[in-house]
Amino acid sequence: MKRWIPLLAIVGIVLIAVFSLAGTYNRMVNGQEQVRTALSNVKVQYQRRADLIPNLVEVVKGYAKHEKDVLVAVTEARAKVGQMKLGDNVSPEQLQQFMQAQGALTQALSRLMVVVERYPELKADQHFRELQAQLEGTENRIAFARNQYNETVRAYNSMIRRFPNNMIAGMFGFSPYPYFEAEAGAEKAPKVQF
């Protein structure tokens, strides 16, 4: 009977190690899925914004016939955003390109809103006001979804970098996800002139 005690101890230690490894692996898989879900939520909000833009452009087009260049810029920026596809395993470069395309669309929309200021009858249009309210709400949802994504990425990246998780992550190919960052120029306050 005493001969079996060391063998049982070794088997027990191996089983504990295997279950610990499996638990850590499963937590990493769950973390990865949470990041993918958060990224999907961000993409849904950006898609919602892209879906509102054609309606907004059509309403503005009816009033601002002389602002063709701005309307074309918005349409082209939206088309470029529509071509951008982010997969589940997004690289920092892909996320950067996606953010640049979204930033260009945001700038085009800002120019469109400046044009709107020149047309009081457009600002009074009920359909335009509804679209503008939906667009503002969507911008808030985008900011919230990006924050949620960054929080999820922070938790996941921290988990796979901690010891001994980093060894397990390396063995099974878990890699960090990139963060959404502020758009270029966001650190400067906009100039307001009256």
Per-residue pLDDT tens for 139-184? 999 999 999 999 999 999 999 999 999 999 999 999 999 998 876 5
Q: What is the mean predicted confidence (pLDDT) over 99-116?
A: 88
Is the pLDDT reported for residue 192 higher than 50?
Answer: no
Q: What share of the chain is helix, strand, coil (3-state, %, to 5)?
A: 75, 0, 25
Residue 156: how many CB atoms within 10 A of its CB? 23
**65, 72 contact by CB (below 8 A):** no
User: Which of residues 123 and 185 earns the better pLDDT score?
Assistant: 123
Is the pLDDT reported for residue 3 higher than 50?
Answer: yes
108-122 pLDDT, tens digit per residue, is 888 888 888 888 888
Is the pLDDT reported for residue 193 higher than 50?
Answer: no
* Cα–Cα distance, 142 to 48 (Å, whole number): 9
User: Which of residues 1 and 156 earns the better pLDDT score?
Assistant: 156
User: pLDDT value at position 188?
Assistant: 52
* Domains of the chain, CATH where assigned: 4-172 (1.20.1440.20)
**CB-based burial of residue 124 (10 Å sphere; 0-12 exposed, 13-18 middle, 19+ buried)?**
exposed
Residues of 80-109 as b/e, b for ≥16 C-beta within 10 angstroms? Answer: ebeeeebeeebeeeebeebbebbbbbeebb
26-61 pLDDT, tens digit per residue, is 999 999 999 999 999 999 999 999 999 888 888 888
Average pLDDT, the chain: 86
User: pLDDT value at position 184?
Assistant: 59
* Cα–Cα distance, 164 to 161 (Å, whole number): 8
Is the pLDDT reported for residue 25 higher than 50?
Answer: yes
* Cα–Cα distance, 12 to 10 (Å, whole number): 5
Q: What is the pTM of this model?
A: 0.79
Nearest to 47 by CA among 101, 96, 8, 121: 101
User: pLDDT value at position 117?
Assistant: 83
Is the pLDDT reported for residue 64 higher than 90?
Answer: no
Is the pLDDT reported for residue 10 higher than 80?
Answer: yes
Q: What is the DSSP letter of 90?
A: -
* Cα–Cα distance, 51 to 46 (Å, whole number): 9
Across 8-12, 16-20, 27-31, 104-108, the highest mean pLDDT is recorded for 27-31
Name the amino acid, one letter, at 25: Y
User: pLDDT value at position 194?
Assistant: 29
